Structure 1
């Protein structure tokens, strides 16, 4: 299995039916309602995007945008990791490519990372009622 196929498979495993409805809704300008109704799985959604030149092994910007507006930083981060490790596009190079969604995606890297003990803010207990 190619790394691209592996990425799509991994993304598919993390997209529920509710997520799929939200993702299809985010694509409503590119997918007609009739076409949207025929797409019943995330694999079918990816296939549709590939057939309509919205997704390719070296063109991931469309799904990055969809994951971003659908508030799925977990999926967005996986796509970015694929792009930087498999396609070997560094963050400096990304600014100059058609694959760019990095300025908005950079913020998600820290959100997904678990904070260290020093970064966790501990709140004092609420005051007792008298």
Structure 2
């Protein structure tokens, strides 16, 4: 977030909303959920550090310290909640993004396609084909 252009009052509001979001998420993550979430990001958290994370607050704190999470950068946890099959948590994050950060689904489309590093090179390929590009198949042969 470019803080030069944003009034301090707005920055404080966003930080407050962000803290509120994390507290809300923490309240809805059980110890069992936490193990699943840590497992989903095992490529980004070394096992010895993962074993020392015993609460969702510690997990969020680790992600922040390692630049995986910030008040204006939520794509990593969106991805983790998505692959962990936690639509309830994902919905809360999306609500925060659209209401607090005012980033709509349309604005987010590029981020969604490039959320996973390996997808970046396929960004232009991952789109709906035009009517001309769709190959029409002939109907199956009739049985005699």
Q: Which category of TM-score, normalised to the shorter sequence, fits these structures?
A: 0.7 to 0.9
CA distance in 1, matches of 2:41, 2:80: 7
Structure 2: gaps spanning 5 or more residues: 1-14
* Higher Rg: 2
Quote how far apart the aligned CAs of 1:89 are.
0.8
CA distance in 2, matches of 1:110, 1:127: 36
8 Å contact 1:12–1:42 — kept in the other structure?
yes
Change (3 A) 1:73 1:65: same
Aligned residue for 1:43, secondary structure, equals helix
Change (3 A) 1:23 1:2: same
CA distance in 1, matches of 2:122, 2:78: 12
Q: Does 1:106 align with 2:120?
A: yes
Q: Deviations over 1:38-75 (max 9, x none)?
A: 00000000000000000000000000000000000000
Change (3 A) 1:49 1:96: same
Structure 1: gaps spanning 5 or more residues: none
TM-score normalised to structure 1 length: 0.74
Which contiguous aligned blocks of 4+ residues in structure 1 show a shift greater than 2 angstroms?
A: 96-130
Change (3 A) 1:91 1:129: closer
Quote how far apart the aligned CAs of 1:96 are.
3.8
